[in-house]
Amino acid sequence: MAKRVQMVVAVARNGVIGIEDRLPWQLRADLMRFKRLTMGHCLFMGRKTFESIGKPLPGRETVVLTRQAARYRGADAVPGVRYVESIEEGLEGLAPEKILFIVGGAEIYRQFFHCVSELHLTRVLADVSGDTKLDPLPLESFELVELESFSADLHNQWPSRYERWVRVVDSNVFSTSFGNIVCS
């Protein structure tokens, strides 16, 4: 079974990605790109990130990773959300034409970066206060295929740079612990 896995993340210059279970900035252009990119596909996120969003995002399937799936599938279930205990379980229920977008937070990025065929990275060009950090991503196996710079303005608190990175592999399919991944 071949599946596509991509990652979307925004990181400040000092590695910060979150504060008090929310995003530490307002970047409208980045949110709009996130929506365009993920619409019609599947969002895979940690339970804390889901709780910070608070509801499933329209037009996308929401899969939440938790070690307490039984609890969330029961009395605390949120309609429209699929709770899973592994990424394998998340991929199992996914329609073949859909991309699984790994969308955070830090715990999820760290564990599943090795599965990713494509990375959508927003570099927030500032040192930002926060309590959740990500180490620099190892990009040796990736190639930069797209780059776009954005200035700060009324709706975008900091200047930023969007980078799209594609994993460079010999074939367009490579194996992981949970099956084959197709590089798109």
In the complex with ligand NAP, the residue whose CB is nearer, 125 or 182, is 125
Amino acid identity for residue 79 in this structure: P
**Selected binder of ligand NAP within 3, 4, 5, 18 (CB under 6 A):** 18
The answer to the question of residue 181 lying near ligand NAP (CB under 6 A) is: no
Choose the binding region for ligand NAP from 18-26, 136-144, 145-153, 160-168 (rule: CB under 6 A): 18-26
Alpha carbons 118 and 144: distance in angstroms, whole number? 10
Q: Beta 61-65 vs 118-124: how paired, if at all?
A: unpaired
Of residues 5, 7, 23, 166, which one binds ligand NAP by CB under 6 A?
23
8 A C-beta contact, residue 64 and residue 82? yes
Q: Which one, of 93, 115, 143, 85, lies nearest residue 7 by Cα?
A: 115
Q: Is 121 an interacting residue with respect to ligand NAP (CB under 6 A)?
A: no
Task: Write down the least CB distance from residue 50 to ligand NAP, Å.
Answer: 7
